[in-house]
Structure 1
């Protein structure tokens, strides 16, 4: 069975899919073609839905009723997650009145920040453009994701708020729900679970052959140094990535319970493989 698989041009995604896309982990049931797009682009594609399997933001689940959440391949922060950056210290009250650059309306980072500080004025832009927009004063602050969570000081900006820390404290240590992989419902649960196992085997292969997988991931490192990319990959390819388990599912459900209570998303049905 040939299926299309969408993933982001990010080092952690590349690391997870290394085994699968290098042909070192194979399946008798699936042949895959991969489509590489940034996360907000994949979120929008999933609304159609276009791809058979795709990485999406957890937040996007509120808008993509035709997909089931896979238990493997998720990006969960363990006490850390997106951060808010600026050129100077700002209080939460000041942020609530500020214009904040965000990496997309369907990103989990955007919904997490809304849960933390309430609704705010924002400007959507590609995540990689946010540090420059902050430094140049085009926005008052920027919500950053991916490796900029580690490199912001090199961009000439400072961290003023840690959304991941807030989630960790608010939920008594649940992992921070950021990204997941989903598969079209139309394949049926048996096939979805079969692909889920295939993806899990790819992730486990990457972890067992970390140097090779990291070398592959460096192709998606956007010019960042290897030590930073390695640190980033180790942050977001963890035990919950291999299988989200009870804690991962609980964190996703908690995420949407809080969002529904604050009228940030409409009630909907979550489906897990």
Structure 2
């Protein structure tokens, strides 16, 4: 396996660079070498749908479209509690005030958008208005400048939105947790089934080891994290890692798989994604 180089794409966000630092830089014993591409989640979702790359970080929302080609790895991704997407507005208000309004979202294939749609079906019965897709780092300025009425934000925006003078209208994760009791599924690590069961097992163990090495020596990943943190304050990068890298990153576990099944089952019932077979999420 060490002679094999696999093409992987994940985001430049601190949680991903923290998780994959040891593996990317050849410090995980026996792990395949990686040819790394850094790209935002909306781009990696598209790569997965086109069958590009061997390993990808994607939104859980895209799984129904790619599970024929890719297997879900039981580690390396992002789930958690208190870490859901937020709906932001210029002025404080109530959810019903979004009826007929323009909302910016980072991707229509993102988990954030699925959570938003499930929330809106419950809290905005008359429906929101136009949905505008834009890169997530452009959303808060667009809300602040009045280009859209509200924005669905992810990642470190949870910590930085007050600096834009914005207000949190609703927390999608809070709604999800209160209605399901489950953690919030955000980003998944997937690998091509054609690599074979043995290789998939090696990849899962490499991802898990990389996570644990990052925890054991957080300073080792620091240069890689800061290099790609897009001018993020180091303290915010640390908050980002602390929120999104947790026990579910090392192992999805029973509650993690239940969260993913719950999200995709609910979304399919609402007609938001195609239904998946019960066994489709199982790791080979």
TM-score range, shorter chain: over 0.9
1:204-215 equivalences under 5 Å are 204-215=212-223
Give the aligned CA root-mean-square deviation in angstroms. Answer: 1.3
1:124 corresponds in structure 2 to 133
For 1:96 and 1:211, how far apart are their aligned partners in 2?
47
Report deviation, 1:17: 0.4
TM-score normalised by structure 1 residue count: 0.96
For 1:130 and 1:142, how far apart are their aligned partners in 2?
6
Once the two structures are superposed, residues 43-85 of structure 1 have per-residue CA deviations (whole angstroms, 9 ceiling, x without a partner) of 0010110010000000010211311000111111313311011
Once the two structures are superposed, residues 4-31 of structure 1 have per-residue CA deviations (whole angstroms, 9 ceiling, x without a partner) of 0110011100000011112222325x12
1:80 corresponds in structure 2 to 83
Once the two structures are superposed, residues 233-267 of structure 1 have per-residue CA deviations (whole angstroms, 9 ceiling, x without a partner) of 01000011111111110000000111111111121
1:271 corresponds in structure 2 to 281
User: Aligned pair count?
Assistant: 271
Poorly superposed stretches of 4+, deviation over 3 Å: none
For 2:83 and 2:33, how far apart are their aligned partners in 1?
35
Alpha-carbon contact 1:86-1:160 (below 8 Å) kept: yes
Name which of 51, 54, 70 aligns with 2:53.
Answer: 51
Check if 1:230 corresponds to 2:234: no
Once the two structures are superposed, residues 75-125 of structure 1 have per-residue CA deviations (whole angstroms, 9 ceiling, x without a partner) of 113133110111012322222321110001111000100011125331000
For 1:19 and 1:26, how far apart are their aligned partners in 2?
10
For 1:88 and 1:126, how far apart are their aligned partners in 2?
22
Q: What SS does structure 1 have at the residue aligned with 2:281? A: coil
For 2:7 and 2:86, how far apart are their aligned partners in 1?
32
For 1:190 and 1:245, how far apart are their aligned partners in 2?
21
Unaligned runs of 5+ in 1: none
1:79-228 equivalences under 5 Å are 79-118=82-121, 120=128, 121-172=130-181, 174-228=182-236
For 2:76 and 2:225, how far apart are their aligned partners in 1?
15
2:72 corresponds in structure 1 to 69
Alpha-carbon contact 2:24-2:33 (below 8 Å) kept: no
Q: What SS does structure 2 have at the residue aligned with 1:198? A: helix
1:41 corresponds in structure 2 to 43
Q: What SS does structure 2 have at the residue aligned with 1:181? A: strand
Alpha-carbon contact 1:102-1:142 (below 8 Å) kept: yes
**Higher mean Cα deviation, 263-272 or 37-46?**
263-272
For 2:165 and 2:197, how far apart are their aligned partners in 1?
48
Aligned pair in 2 of structure 1 residues 170, 21: CA closer, same or farther (>3 Å)?
same
Unaligned runs of 5+ in 2: 122-126
